[in-house]
Structure 1
Amino acid sequence: MNYSTIKKTAVAASLVAALGFAESAQAQTPTVFGGRSQYRTWSIGVQGGITTPGAITGGSNPFGQKVGYFQNKVGEYYGITVRKQFSHLFGLELEGNRGKIKTFNHDVSGPAVENSHGATSAEVDVNWAASLNGVFQLGTIDFLRRENAVNFYAKVGMGVLASNPVQYSGNDLDGSVVYDNKGKWGEEIFGDREADGSKDYKLSGFIPVGVGVKFKLSEVVALNLGYTMNFTDDNRLYGPGRTDYKGKYSQVYGGLEFTLGSRDKENLTFSNPVATLYDELKDPSLRNEVEALKQRVSTLEGTVDQLSKDSDGDGVSDKFDKCPSTPAGTAVDGSGCPIKFPEPVVANNATSGEYFSPIQFEFDSSVLKTESYSTLDKLAKELRDANASITLDGYASEEGSDDYNMNLSTDRANAVKQYLVNAGVSASSVTATGYGEANPVASNATEEGRVQNRRVEIKK
């Protein structure tokens, strides 16, 4: 096998390996089909058949005549296979064969031509031929049938064969032996010339390319029929002859393939992904799981609705509302109950020494509440009628810094003063002063107490 053979063999090996690993990686990817673990993926096969020189692609035999299919003699060929299926599309197969290849000068093909040894026929003894093949399955996806019973495939690979050609002087392998180099092949494994040595067979590389069909006989056994063309880079496959001839031969075979593993698992070779997908989508357990999930979602939605329901519109859900019938717009605490403020006391005469209840404010705000308007309107009327003076003391709760709260309390006092001035009270009769966090009327440790401390006191 010369340097050109080595290069071509390496290229073929790289191609097969790349295809194999690509398919293997794809098969390892999680899919709806559950992965290879649920299938039987190993198988062994036995096969037997015949060989013919040449191939259906045409060409000529080593004697220079055209070779047609079955035109030359047929030889016996048999062997075994071991295959690992990586997906429903691809597998790797180790194949081993042995047998004979026979050829001769056929008168129909043209005039008989003898080589330098006077040979007109040859028989090649193939001691063994081993190859690693990538097998591509072509008929696994089937939309019409749930189960595949017939599967077409194509294969390509690379291999090595050990052979010894014997040439005869007769056309029917019945003449005298004119060439037999058995026991004389050289020690150089990759040599392709005669040399003194002790090898019975010479080694050469070959590339098998074939097609076939498998018939499923049972869950374990399948009938395997196929045709393979074997292309070598050996111009002495049939012995000395034309130096420009690269030997090739074909094999037609039939055999049985046995799937290994538990019968409880499906054979990946004949699995139909379409049927598998359909079964998984229609799986009662999957449907029950979906229904259970829907029920859980429905229960969760009901719980959310229950937690968010607020019948009286006070901003506190019914589940946590301790005062469920609070009128809309009422200020409530975290439990949904109204916040109680001191009742405003309005004096009949602003000069009587009595004072109005404090004017309340929201957190961090100096804006008057609308509910304070009626109280201030009454106060403004009495001040105008009596031409009296009033003092406004502004306060804040303890949130924030002292300086900030001092300014906030002053703004609150001025907001009340401005309202009274706008209502007709003389500005000179109203004194507004801010005292910040001083003089709290309730504890600043609770929100209820802080609400009462955000105020403006009205004094004579």
Structure 2
Amino acid sequence: MKQNLLKCLPAAVAALFMANSVQAQDSLGTSPKLNTWSIGINAGALSPISPLGGKNDFSNWKTNLGYGLYIKKQITPGFSIKLDGVKGKLSGDNLEPYESGYSNTDAVTAYETELSWSAALNAQVNMLNLNMFRKQDNVQLYASAGAGLAGYKTEITTAAGTTEFGDGSATELVIPVGVGAKFRVTDKINFDLGWTVNFVDGDNLDGVYKGSTNDKYNYAYAGLEFSLGSSDKQLAWHNPVALTYDEALAAKATANALKGDLDAQKAENARLRADMDNLLTDTDGDGVADKLDKCPDTPKGVVVDGSGCPLNVPAPKVIITEADRKVVNEAIRNLEFDLGKSTLRTKSYATLNKVAALLVEKNFSLKLAGHTDNTGSMKLNLGLSKDRAESVKAYLVSQGANASRIEATGYGPNQPIASNKTASGRQQNRRVEFTLF
């Protein structure tokens, strides 16, 4: 059995390190960035007994210092593989009787065993926190079991003196079984309290071979465990049940957000559909939407133009009243420009607004004719008269008038209505004429 373990132990150690190539994932399949490797150091009491039963070869056992080192790979939040090493000293004698009163009269009166080394591969199971409202606890219990080898040297004391037992060194199979408690100190440091009973596959650990029961020793220790990795979280403290709850809440929030977006999109589509229906409504069925139809009550079957009015129908007669002419004449009288420019003065706005309202209400057409006196060059005067007529047109259009129904022309000094030889005559010649039709 010991030879088979010697062959299997190197392969098990290699498997432990190869596990680093696998990304740590919890049982739910999520893959948060969690540290899975750790190392630990400890020290404590080594004693050659076991409270789990069996008879000791010596009546008086002693406690000695032991110390250990381990490296651990966390596979899941509840399971890890750990490679443990322990060194120390075991000793006992027969100076006192057993608790039953029996005195040991063996020839060997005392022994001291140096535990030169021990290496065991252990499986450790964590007692997980399964409270879904707590992502991690600060205290965790665990249990472990495994198998390994121990190398030791034993010195025995007899009436003849002290001597080495056997050939001075031995290697035996050991089966460690332990329990412990871990306390999270910081994100990367844990305080570890543990107790391990090691069952030896032999009866010569204490230099006395009786063959009735195998030897055993226990190690009670305290130490620190250091998490390795860039994350500030350890897989060993990770609670998959709490993660399930958090993921369910996150999924619900995402679903609610998507539903809200979907409802908003449906509302927007309904609004656009209503706008489109309103835009395409054609009450009289002439092929021109109501919003663009200037003759909304065209009889069925009548051919219409682009504005929805019947073709070949004489346009309604335009009737210009005295009140209309009065509005236009008042605008002409109040029309003023900056000196030598086409910029309208604000004094002109009020009466021009009335002209614009008239054009919109009665759908009149308007001709604007700009004139100047003969001061300056012909080219300059033609441009200025045209610009002033265009300036008036632009203002009327800004107030809602139809640009296609307004014509702006500049005549310069070519159509005077008074003599340019006098100042008053030149003043009369500088004008913009409004003609309704």
TM-score normalised over the length of structure 2: 0.54
How far residue 6 of structure 1 moved from its aligned partner, in angstroms, is: 5.1
- Paired residues of 2:27 and 2:76 also in contact (CA < 8 A): no
1:176 aligns with 2:161: yes
* Residue from 75, 79, 89 that aligns with 1:100: 89
The correspondence for 1:215, drawn from 183, 203, 221, is 183
Shift of 1:132: 0.6
Structure 1 residue 157 and structure 2 residue 157: aligned?
no
In structure 1, C-alpha distance between the alignment counterparts of 2:284 and 2:123, rounded to whole Å: 80
Distance, in Å, in 2 between the alignment partners of 1:126 and 1:103 is 14
1:224–1:256: 8 Å Cα contact kept in structure 2? yes
The answer to whether residue 55 in structure 2 is matched with residue 60 in structure 1 is: yes
8 Å Cα contact 1:112-1:120 kept in structure 2? no
Alpha-carbon contact 1:9-1:207 (below 8 Å) kept: no
Instruction: Determine which of 86, 110, 119 is the counterpart of 2:75.
Output: 86
Partner of 2:322: none
1:293 counterpart letter in structure 2 = L
Deviation at 1:73, TM superposition (A): 0.6
> Which deviates more from structure 2 when the two are superposed, residues 234-243 or residues 298-307?
298-307
Amino acid at match of 1:258: F
SS in 2 for 1:140: coil
Q: What is the rounded CA distance, in whole Å, between the counterparts of 1:21 and 1:141 in structure 2?
A: 30
Shift, 1:7, TM fit: 6.6
Q: For 1:72, what is the secondary structure of its paired residue?
A: strand
Counterpart position of 1:265: 232
Contact map agreement 2:188 2:232 (CA 8 A) in 1: no
Distance in structure 1 (CA, Å) of the matches to 2:22 and 2:54: 39
8 Å CA contact 2:157–2:163 kept in 1: the answer is yes
User: 8 Å contact 2:50–2:216 — kept in the other structure?
Assistant: yes
Q: Which runs of 5+ in 1 are unaligned?
A: 66-70, 185-199, 310-317, 327-460
Q: CA deviation at 1:205?
A: 0.7
Contact 2:97 2:104 survives alignment (8 Å): no
Is this contact kept in 2: 1:215–1:224, CA < 8 A? Answer: yes
Equivalent AA in structure 2 for residue 255 of structure 1: G
User: Which protein has the larger Cα radius of gyration, Structure 1 or Structure 2?
Assistant: 2
Deviation at 1:287, TM superposition (A): 5.9
Work out the CA distance in 1 between the residues paired with 2:269 and 2:74.
51
C-alpha distance 145-295 of structure 1, shift in aligned 2 (>3 A): closer
**Residues 9 and 148 of structure 2 are in contact (CA less than 8 Å); yes or no, is this contact kept in structure 1?**
no
In the TM superposition, what is the alpha-carbon distance from 1:147 to its structure 2 partner? 3.3
Paired residues of 2:108 and 2:157 also in contact (CA < 8 A): yes
Q: Using a 3 Å threshold, how does the CA distance of structure 1 residues 292 and 80 change in structure 2: closer, same or farther?
A: same
| SS at structure 2 position matched to 1:121 | strand
Does the 8 Å CA contact 1:153/1:213 hold for their aligned counterparts? yes
Alignment match of 2:215 (pick from 217, 222, 247): 247
1:277: how far off? 3.4
Distance 1:158 1:13 in 2: 12
Q: Distance in 1 between matches of 2:241 and 2:28?
A: 13
Which residue identity lines up with residue 86 of structure 2 in the other structure?
A: N
| C-alpha distance 294-322 of structure 1, shift in aligned 2 (>3 A) | same
Encode CA deviations 1:9-39: one digit per residue, 9 max, x unaligned: 9999999999x999x999757726x23x521
Equivalent residue letter for 2:263: S
DSSP 3-state at the match of 1:120: strand
The alpha-carbon deviation at position 96 of structure 1 amounts to 0.7
Aligned twin of 1:51: 46
Q: Is the 8 A contact 1:235 1:243 kept in 2?
A: yes
Partners of 1:29 and 1:227 in 2: how far apart?
Answer: 28
Contact 1:9 1:158 in 2 (8 A): no
SS in 2 for 1:291: helix
- Extract unaligned runs of 5+ from structure 2: 286-437
- TM-score under structure 1 length normalisation: 0.52
Separation of aligned partners in 2, 1:29 and 1:57: 35
Confirm or deny: 8 A CA contact 1:16 1:156 kept in the other structure. no
Distance 1:281 1:139, change over 3 A: same
Q: Does 1:40 align with 2:5?
A: no
Instruction: Name the amino acid aligned to 2:36.
Output: T
**CA separation in 1, counterparts of 2:186 and 2:89?**
32
Q: What amino acid sits opposite 2:97 in the alignment?
A: D
Distance 1:229 1:17 in 2: 25
Q: What amino acid maps onto 1:31 in structure 2?
A: L
Identity %: 29
Q: In structure 1, give the amino acid aligned to 2:255.
A: V
